[in-house]
Amino acid sequence: MAGIRFGVPIRPRRRAILFGLLFLVLGTAVVWGPTLRESAGLTAIRAAIAGHDWQRAEALLTGGGSRGFFSGRPPEADRQYLLGRLYRRQRRFSEAERCFDAAAGLGFDAEAIAGQRLLERAQTGDIRRVEEDLARLLAAGGDDAFAEDCYEAMAEGFIGSFRMADARECVDFWSRWQPDNPLPAYWLGVIEERYERPVLALEQYDRALAMNPRLYDARVRVARLELETGRLEDANRRFRECLEERPDDPQAVIGLANCLLRSGDSQGARDLFHDALTTDLGKEEAAEALTELGQMALEEGQEKKAAILLDQAVEVDPHGMRARLAYAGSLMRLGDEEGAKAQRDIATRLAERQRRLAAVTRDALGKPDDADLRAEAGMILLEQGFVAEGLGWLETALRIAPDHGPTHRVLADHFAAVGDEDRSAEHRTIAGGSPRPGMASDARGPAP
């Protein structure tokens, strides 16, 4: 299916040519460029990066031993730039930006930094605007490291924009160029997960791990899929291996806690959920830990303790349906029937919206240029408190159809709610009398 970039149709054959260009222009330049001299320290850093061992590469770059490996400009500029690349690849974008700003202030090559920022835009969903710019950079002489970065950022951007055919095509070219690189197989696994095909996803992750058994992201994803498919012993073992490497990783802590809970080890699970709450959790992860602790307290007859924990879970993530239902159960046992009913009613509306969101995103897989679907998905996500994700979907809708009235209507309402009247008025003018997305088929109104 043709895509749209800058208002110009891009046919499938032209897109294949674009990816082919990336494949053909890969040079034999030294990976980090002429400004870095060979040394034992640089060799170690390059080996860590080539092995996708971001943790070791970061340790080498942030430790005192990495200083002095560089020549041609102040060592700190090179160090900040390389750290920025590592952070960007790990989606630690705010840290990457600080490093790129520092590198720029120290005189690092502005074009190289601009290229990294293009990759960041691709990763975060702005792929339509930057894919041709990235191809031009590669055609001008990008090195192997930049080419790999480019393929990965574009694949991630296509997946995030639900352009799965483009993502698969990109990864196919990448795997032909680097058949021994585990990352193409890893991203194929991510694509299969988006299509809700866990068996095929596991096959791809296993391929990636056969090439690089230390690929952390693949290990965590495999462990989670093993947990979801009831392979508790395998999931338990793999989560423990992940925790040996990253003891504070909340995904691994909560994953292992769930393994123990399903295996009947309530005390072990309780300890790990408490441990998870001491780490840097996102709101969904924190709500999950609080919900599980509250549910265990409820099952043990500790209704007051359960109500406190579940109230905290709802406060952290008001759109968590399971927390609402468990909270309703604790309130019912405490004799608050009215409060319990209110929580159940909210949970019902949340379930309806989640079902609709799942249907919309599934439809978007087969209709990557349907602005209506993206606008509706963005509206539901905003209603559920996922502001960045919702705005991302709405932005992609406007890239498809810049004058799409329903999208502008949702954006007008959003900016009005956050007090940005100027942007709200701008979107409202374009929207005119357009209805909100999904109104014709879904008049239930927003969930709390």
Domain boundaries, the chain: 3-195, 281-364, 367-448
Amino acid 18: pLDDT: 59
Provide the percentage of residues in the chain whose pLDDT is more than 90: 42
Q: Do domains 281-364 and 367-448 have the same CATH topology?
A: yes
Instruction: Scan for tokens 């007090």, then name that residue.
Output: 419
444 pLDDT band, cuts 50/70/90, is very low
CATH 1.10.150.250 fits 281-364, yes or no: no
Phi-psi region of 63 (alpha: psi -120 to 50; beta: other; left: phi over 0): beta
Mean pLDDT of the chain: 82
pLDDT at 124 over 60: yes
Among the ranges 63-67, 207-211, 246-250, which has the highest mean pLDDT value? 207-211
Cα 370 to chain centroid distance, Å, stands at 22
Q: Please state, in angstroms and rounded to a whole number, the distance separating the CA atoms of residues 36 and 395.
A: 39
78 pLDDT band, cuts 50/70/90, is confident
Instruction: Scan for tokens 């990495």, then name that residue.
Output: 66
pLDDT at 43 over 80: no
- Range name among 14-18, 66-70, 148-152 with the lowest pLDDT average: 66-70
CATH 1.25.40.10 fits 367-448, yes or no: yes
